[in-house]
Amino acid sequence: MDTFEGKNSKNKVYLKINRKGLSDIAYDVLLGIIIAVIFVVPVMLHINSLANGERLWSEYYSGEIAKLINNANSGDELQIDSSKAMEIARKNRIESHKDVFFFSNEANKICVKMDIESEPKCRFYFKDLNVVDVRSDVSESGNLLRFKIVEADRGGVG
Amino acid sequence: MIEMKSKNGRMGDWAMFSIFLFFVIVIAGGIALGTSIFFGTGLNYGESEGADLYNAVSKCMEDKVLGVEEIKDADFYKTCMLDKEILFSYFTLRIEEKSAGRLINFGNAEACLFDVEKIPKNAPKCVGGKVENGKGEFIIIAGSRQK
């Protein structure tokens, strides 16, 4: 414990610096902040993902694209209006459709992700077909995601 | 003489910390639950995928005139353009030949509680119907197990 004399020399005031006490308070405050951050950050991310519709629209696009493929035949050329997906993705600093829509011909899977930090929403399609030539076109009505359906060759990626 | 277990008086701190932790968990959970309820729990494509599978299989069976033997054959998947692995992992399909009562199950077929006349409300992801082709009359029930 350190002591030092105060300015008023008549009534000698001793200020006691309890270093341990100070560190206890700092420790408690720091612990409180860490715990609050651990809980608050995931909650804020969850709310943000719901509020900008990223999760819901990812589910929508993955579901609709899987449905399109399930009802498609080899040789079909399909398109879906991807304006909303690209609008949300741009807000989340994603510019290219290649970073939003992921087709996996090996796994018969379409994944959609509109935020760098979020997990992609994936759906599997039962039709044994491959998706190739995936491109995004900008038309008067907005963005269009176009892709072709071909017979599965067990290995190609679109 | 009473023996003091917490000589530096830290018991109260830990008790308060537990209460603080409890409230943080309750508040964070409450906010997450509240926002999820407000924004909705998501979309359900299960029933629609079940219907798509049913339509694909029934159309294939009608067009290609498939019987039980052909369905049991390994070429069935190729004939109907179905991915075997995906079908077993994420979908469910049951084909029953009505006259002989022969059953063919793909995936976890019991998940639908198969009764084509009254598919229960708690199994909305299953879609069923009858198909007739040159090989007989079949009951097909299809469903999706994707969430």
Indicate yes or no: CB of A60 within 8 angstroms of CB of B43. Answer: yes
Q: What are the tens digits of pLDDT across the range A81-102?
A: 999 999 999 988 898 999 999 9
Q: How confident is the model at residue B121, as a pLDDT? A: 54
The CA distance from B19 to the nearest CA of chain A, in Å, is 12
- In this prediction the ipTM stands at 0.71
* Cβ-Cβ contacts under 8 Å, A76 against chain B: none
Q: How confident is the model at residue A2, as a pLDDT? A: 47
Question: What is the average pLDDT value for chain B, to the nearest integer?
Answer: 80
Paired with B133 in beta bridges are B136
* Cβ-Cβ contacts under 8 Å, A60 against chain B: 43
Q: Are B101 and B145 in contact (CB under 8 A)?
A: no
Q: How confident is the model at residue B7, as a pLDDT? A: 58
Pairing of strands A129-139, A2-5: unpaired
**A126 or B102, which is more confident:** A126
Indicate yes or no: CB of A67 within 8 angstroms of CB of B146. Answer: no
Tell me how long chain B is.
147
Average pLDDT over residues B83-103: 87
Question: What is the average pLDDT value for chain A, to the nearest integer?
Answer: 83
Q: How confident is the model at residue A43, as a pLDDT? A: 80
Q: Does residue B124 carry a pLDDT above 60?
A: no
Indicate yes or no: CB of A39 within 8 angstroms of CB of B24. Answer: yes
Q: How confident is the model at residue A68, as a pLDDT? A: 96
Tell me the pLDDT band of B5, cut-offs 50, 70 and 90. low
Structure tokens at B139: 């009951």
Structure tokens at A92: 């989340």
Cα-atom radius of gyration of chain B, to the nearest Å? 27
Among A50, A124, A128, the residue with its CB nearest the CB of B82 is A128
Domain locations along chain B: 8-35, 46-144
Indicate yes or no: CB of B28 within 8 angstroms of CB of A39. Answer: yes
* CA count, 13 A, side-chain hemisphere, A88: 23
CA dist B1 to B4, B9, B74, B125, Å? 9, 18, 85, 70
Burial B56-90 (b: 16+ CB within 10 A, else e): bbbebbeeeebbbeebeeeebbebbbbbeebbeeb
**A120 or B16, which is more confident:** A120
Indicate yes or no: CB of A125 within 8 angstroms of CB of B89. Answer: no
